[in-house]
Amino acid sequence: MEETLYFAYGSNINLEQMEHRCPDAQLVGPVTLQNYELQFRGSGFATVSPKKGSVVHGLLWKLTPKSEQALDRYEGYPRHYTKEQVSVRTTDDAAVSVMAYIMAEPMSRQPALPSPYYYRAIQQGFEANGLPVESLEEAWNRTIDEIWLGKVERLKNGKNLQTRKPER
């Protein structure tokens, strides 16, 4: 089995965490995924979704079959994340076809904030690799907006936000 080129955009851009999960993976370098948006979904984990004009910053890794199997387990493939081929751009603007884990339905439809630990792990990865932390902050802010917009829409549609009846 040959090596797989893998696009990481969430906690797998954290070098310490990736070293722990996949010690034989090789870092290739920073890349971008054009016309996609970074999102927090499901139980507050990162995913990417197509969005024209948006960019997701991340890292390109070379995975051995052993590393890919370890990531499959970590990412909950195929139940929580699927594997898709996407085209990323390197720093010299070359297009490279790579594998990315993308959150599966129906979890990918539900916005959810990440835990502070998970967010900080991604933030540390952005900082250590010279990626723009602002794009991570924007994903956080969009998630907050989506959560609140969903609550407002339910109120407009006459749906009560409470899940249980008030006590008397």
C-alpha span between 77 and 45 (Å, rounded)? 14
- Is 7 annotated as a binding-site member? yes
- Is 77 annotated as a binding-site member? no
Per DSSP, which regions of 16-118 are E strands?
A: 26-41, 45-63, 81-90, 95-103
- Is 44 annotated as a binding-site member? no
User: Which among 2, 75, 153, 167 is annotated as catalytic?
Assistant: 75
- Is 6 annotated as a binding-site member? yes
Burial readout 135-164 (b: 16 or more C-beta within 10 A, e: otherwise): bbeebbeebeebeeeeeeeeeeeeeeeeee
75 given a catalytic annotation: yes
- Is 9 annotated as a binding-site member? yes
In total, the chain counts a number of residues equal to 168
The binding site for substrate comprises 6-11, 118
The binding site comprises 6-11, 118
Q: Which residues are tagged catalytic?
A: 75
